[in-house]
Amino acid sequence: MATNTLILPKLHISYTSSLPQKQILLVSGGRPPQIDWLQEVSQHRILWCIDHGIDICRKALLHPQRLIGDGDSASKASWDWAKAMDIPIEKYSPKKNLTDTQLALQNIRKIQPCPFVVLSGALGNRFDHAFSTLHSFAAECMPGCIADEQETVLFLKGMDSITIETSVRPKAISLLPLTEECCDVSITNVFWPLDKVILKQSLPYAISNELMDTAHEFSVSISHGILAVYLYWE
């Protein structure tokens, strides 16, 4: 894999900037990804899990290298399995200010150099958790994405651009500004292209776009701000 390329099922993503060679797959406790998707993505990545994510990993027959959380959503059987497998556990009190995902991201931030993070099992259930995860991930300013077989969120920060090649066409492509403004936003090969526009967080209109009929890839770029590039499959 080239150092500026991220490969996920259905997606081949080329960044203009180099990516860390070390990658972590972080499995959280939201909507479980499909087992075959998770098993494929886990290959050649360091596997960590967050709380209920240990149930997902155990079901997929995957052995995480670290378990982080307060244990309030994971099953006792899976937590005991992690202990029996000598998986290092960082357990926190349920009465805390930060979410388990925020604590996991902070732990990853301490690794030198900071790896690329693929966060899965983070969407599809509670909106408040998804909202917190999306903004916390962006705020950490670490390279990474949120993904499963139904939804993928990629982040562009500062002067950055990506080209996304799809083997399965997404039903929707949306651009979500995560800062007050995202400047010089462009997107190509879609029905509603943009050319160096300002997207405002107060008016996130650039949603539900689609690839052109003959296109299998598109590019997105910005010059300033933090932009989420969201893809959805039925």
pLDDT in tens, 20-52: 889 999 999 889 999 999 999 999 999 999 999
Give me the mean pLDDT over the 133-150 stretch. Answer: 88
Lowest mean pLDDT among 8-22, 88-102, 164-178, 219-233: 88-102
Q: Is residue 24 a contact partner of residue 45, using CB atoms and an 8 Å limit?
A: yes
SS3 53: helix
- Give the residue from 156, 141, 128 showing the smallest Cα distance to 228: 156
pLDDT band at 73 (very low <50, low <70, confident <90, very high): confident
pLDDT of residue 168: 95
SS3 helix, strand, coil % of the chain, rounded to 5? 20, 35, 45
Domains of the chain: 20-149 (3.40.50.10240), 150-234 (2.60.120.320)
CB count within 10 Å of CB 149 equals 18
Alpha-carbon gap, residue 7 to 226, rounded angstroms: 22
Q: What is the DSSP letter of 211?
A: B
What are the helix (H) ranges across the chain? 35-42, 53-59, 76-84, 100-109, 127-140
How, if at all, do strands 89-91 and 226-232 pair? Answer: unpaired
Alpha-carbon gap, residue 226 to 208, rounded angstroms: 19
Strand partners, 154: 145, 229
Asked, as a colleague might, if the bond just before 33 is cis with ω within 30 of 0, I would say no
Give me the mean pLDDT over the 202-216 stretch. Answer: 95
pLDDT in tens, 107-139: 898 887 889 999 999 998 789 988 998 998 888
Q: Is residue 164 a contact partner of residue 154, using CB atoms and an 8 Å limit?
A: yes
Give me the mean pLDDT over the 71-78 stretch. Answer: 88
Residue 1 pLDDT more than 70? no
Q: Is residue 119 a contact partner of residue 137, using CB atoms and an 8 Å limit?
A: yes
